[in-house]
Amino acid sequence: MENHIEKAKKHFEKILKEQLERVDYLKAEPDWTDYSKLKPIIIGILGGDGIGPEITNHAQNVLEFLLKAEIANGIIEIRTLDGLTIENRAKILKAIPDDVLEEIKKCHVLLKGPTTTPRKGDQWPNIESANVAMRRELDLFANVRPVKVPELGIDWMFFRENTEGAYILGSNGINVTEDLAIDFKAITKQGADRIIRMAFDYAKRNDINKVTVVTKANVVKTSDGKFLSVAEKVAKDYPEVEWDDWYIDIMTAKMIDPKRRQQFKVIVAPNLYGDIITDEAAQLQGGVGTAGSANIGKRYAMFEAIHGSALRMVKENRQQYADPSSMIKAAALLLNHIGYQEKALKLEKALDICAQYEKRIQITGRSTGATGNAYAEYIMETLEDPNLEEKWESYQ
Ligand code: IPM
Ligand code: MG
């Protein structure tokens, strides 16, 4: 037994050292990238696994369609990056192969298809998730996920902490003995501060008078308690923004309470809770296939779908029917982030028209519906329509 404890202590010591070093890094964080000063802005495209390459390709087409002039002028470069596949990652037992990470770091922003996250018992070795690794390697601390369902009065903006919480050490737990498994969850003052501040900033900038902080601080007292106490402090810097705090369990309930849910506007949560409630929210919007996700750090940013690689669809040979909306929405978030707000808004309107209002063709995920390619073309036709604005207004 002594021996087991000694081994676990060593493991914990290593984790503590790494995390304290991370805190030092956070204290001296670089400033935000100013995209207006970059020429060209390099957009890296990573297809991912399963349905990823297919739907990413459609999103890339839409992006190239909207950025035709900028690409021709050399203001923007679109670069396709290979090698972030589960086959490759499994072969070398790494979440992100070193050479791919090197290429990724040469880009400024990324559009990434879903990557398969292995789990025990899979056909793949149980390596760390590429998503989690990328968020950590590029310090993409903010996972920003908008969800809108106008007819239900839902207009939510989620700020999910993306680099710590239950995730950061999710592949670093320890089986102390065969009977005792321990995982670690870490929340830092700096990590909590920057995501909570971002949520409050967003609320203030957009005249939204409500931020909701989600934790389970009544039970997970130390780390969630830290998150909540940082929120109390940050809130003092934003006296014009009201805020409240909810526990994750009742939050998931109230999000499906028609009377209550309209009150939520900007929501900020530690990593795992944010993961869970953003899937729930996306489902209310029409499924996880409809939601995009921005992973934002001060230096890099990565935009993706919120769903997985849907290997089942590929096995059943229906990847061509996968809904590319989430990736196209991610492309809109990317455009917005690098300074093309107008194009981003136009794309969002086109997506709304196609998915929520006009619905000339629909995706079902099977041959009963349109292909992803046909759907992307429908979106581009809608973008080309000189009456797009009027059309959109008429539905409001
Ligand atoms: C998400 C996904 C990822 C996560 C998985 C694929 C690791 O569910 O982006 O929400 O849990 O963060
Ligand atoms: Mg998730």
Instruction: Give mean pLDDT, residues 299-311.
Output: 94
Average pLDDT on 279-306 reads 92
Peptide bond connecting 146 to the previous residue in cis, omega within 30 degrees of 0? no
Residue with the nearest Cα to atom 3 of ligand 1?
131
Q: What is the DSSP letter of 154?
A: E
**So what's the pLDDT on residue 221?**
97
Best residue among 86, 129, 293 to mutate for probing ligand 1's pocket (most ligand atoms within 8 Å of CB) is 129
What's the pLDDT band for 287 if we cut at 50, 70, 90?
A: confident
Distances (CA, A) of 88 to 93, 99, 295: 8, 11, 23
pLDDT-based confidence at residue 30 (cuts at 50, 70, 90): confident
| For residue 69, pLDDT beyond 90 | yes
Cβ–ligand 1 contact at 382 (below 6 Å): no
Say if ligand 1 is within 6 A of residue 336 CB.
no
Distance 390 CA to ligand 2 centre (A): 35
Judged against a pLDDT cut of 90, whether residue 286 lies above it is answered with: no
Ligand 1 site, residue 308, Cβ cutoff 6 A:
yes
Phi, psi of 110 (to 5 degrees): -130, 145
* Model pLDDT for residues 354-364, shown as the tens digit of each residue: 998 999 999 99
pLDDT higher than threshold 90 for residue 290: no
Which residue matches tokens 């526990």? Answer: 247
78 CA to centre of ligand 2 in angstroms = 27
131 Cβ closer than 6 Å to some ligand 1 atom: yes
Q: What is the pLDDT of residue 117?
A: 92
Which domains does the chain possess? 31-140+297-396 (3.40.718.10), 145-287 (3.40.718.10)
pLDDT band at 348 (very low <50, low <70, confident <90, very high): very high
User: Which ligand neighbours the alpha carbon of 295 most closely?
Assistant: 1
**Looking at the chain, which runs of residues are DSSP E strands?**
41-46, 76-81, 109-112, 142-149, 154-161, 174-175, 181-182, 210-215, 242-247, 266-269, 292-296, 301-305
CA 382 – ligand 1 centroid, Å: 31
Determine the average pLDDT of the residues in 80-85. 96
User: What's the whole-number mean pLDDT along residues 15-33?
Assistant: 94
Query: Taking 90 as the threshold, does the pLDDT of residue 396 lie above it?
Result: no
Decide if 182 contacts 8 (C-beta within 8 A): yes
CB atoms within 10 A of CB 345: 14
Q: Tell me the longest C-alpha to C-alpha distance in the chain.
A: 74
- Mean pLDDT to the nearest integer, 311-322: 96
Q: Is the CB–ligand 1 distance for residue 309 below 6 Å?
A: no
Q: How far is the CA of 307 from the centre of ligand 1 (A)?
A: 7
- Cα–Cα distance for residue pair 354/350, rounded to 1 Å: 6
Nearest of 277, 204, 288, 191 to residue 230 by alpha carbon: 191
For residues 170 and 133, what is the distance between their CA atoms, to the nearest angstrom?
Answer: 11
- Which residue, by CA, sits nearest to atom 1 of ligand 1? 306
Tokens in use for 24? 């030092």
Q: Which residues have CB less than 5 Å away from ligand 2 (the ion)? A: 275
Dist. CA 287 → ligand 2 center (Å): 12
pLDDT, residue 1, reads: 79
Decide: 330 in ligand 1 pocket, CB within 6 A: no
Classify each residue of 220-255 as buried b or exposed e, where b means 16 or more C-beta atoms within 10 Å of its C-beta.
Answer: beebbbbbbebbeebbeebeebebebbbbeebbeeb
In the predicted model, is pLDDT for residue 108 greater than 90?
A: yes
Does the beta carbon of 275 sit less than 6 angstroms from any atom of ligand 1? yes
pTM of the full structure: 0.90
Decide: 161 in ligand 1 pocket, CB within 6 A: no
Cβ of residue 281 lying under 6 Å from some atom of ligand 1: no
Share of the chain above pLDDT 70, in %: 100
Q: How far apart are CA 114 and CA 74, in angstroms?
A: 28
Average pLDDT, the chain: 96
322 lines ligand 1 (CB under 6 A): no
Q: In what order do the strands lie in the sheet with 41-46?
A: 76-81, 41-46, 109-112, 301-305, 292-296, 142-149, 154-161, 266-269, 210-215, 242-247
pLDDT of residue 335: 97
Q: Which residues contact 2 (CB under 8 A, 6 or more apart)?
A: none
* pLDDT higher than threshold 90 for residue 110: yes
Angle, vertex CA 192, rays to CA 337 and CA 208, nearest 5: 55
The pLDDT, as a whole number, for residue 288 is 83
pLDDT digits (tens, 9 = 90+) for 177-212: 999 999 999 999 999 999 999 999 999 999 999 999
Say which ligand is closest to the CA of 145. 1
The dihedral over CA atoms of 237, 158, 128, 330, expressed in degrees to the nearest 10, equals: -120
Average of per-residue pLDDT across 137-163: 95
The bound ligand whose nearest atom lies closest to the alpha carbon of 114 is: 1
CA atoms within 13 A on the CB side of 124: 22
For the CA of 308, the nearest atom of ligand 1:
6
The token duo for 311 is 């290997």
For residue 127, which ligand has an atom nearest its CA?
1
Report the length, in residues, of the chain. Answer: 396
Answer whether 235's CB lies under 8 Å from 245's CB: no
Span 13-18, average pLDDT: 97
Asked if pLDDT for residue 150 goes beyond 90, the answer is: no
Dump pLDDT digits (tens) for 216-226: 999 999 999 99
Rg of the chain taking only CA atoms, in angstroms: 21
**CB of 325 sitting under 6 A from ligand 1:** no
Tokens 């106490």 — which residue? 229
Residue nearest (by alpha carbon) to ligand 1 atom 11: 275
pLDDT at 289: 78
